[in-house]
Amino acid sequence: ETGVTQTPRHLVMGMTNKKSLKCEQHLGHNAMYWYKQSAKKPLELMFVYSLEERVENNSVPSRFSPECPNSSHLFLHLHTLQPEDSALYLCASSQDLRTGLTDTQYFGPGTRLTVL
């Protein structure tokens, strides 16, 4: 399998559930990102990891908890979400942090999350 993969592709959860989103990159990259994409809104950068260390957390509510166990895998743990958290959650990777912020990021297909 190549590129950036995300599972699950679709997720419906209640406000009291706990779930996790998984991202895996097969590109040998050192930086990984979580984005939130809502209709008619710009992509919102949520978290950035470089060499498995979190380097950015853009004022994201604590009900979203990222985890990067190694440079190929990224998780987003979800708990007690709100209906306004329903969106497409995209994972991306780049060769390194500088490249990702000035050149190319490679995106996965996203997880469509619906919070009831």
Q: How far is the CB of 78 from other proteins (least distance, A)?
A: 19
Judged by CB under 8 A, the residue of 45, 65, 72, 73 near other proteins is 45
Beta carbon nearer to other proteins, 64 or 93: 93
Site for other proteins in 77-106 (CB under 8 A): 90, 92, 98, 100-106
Backbone phi, then psi, for 41, in 5-degree steps?
A: -120, 155
**Strands (DSSP E) found in the chain:** 4-7, 10-13, 18-25, 31-37, 44-50, 53-57, 64-70, 73-79, 87-94, 106-107, 111-115
Residues near other proteins (CB under 8 A): 4, 40-43, 45, 90, 92, 98, 100-110
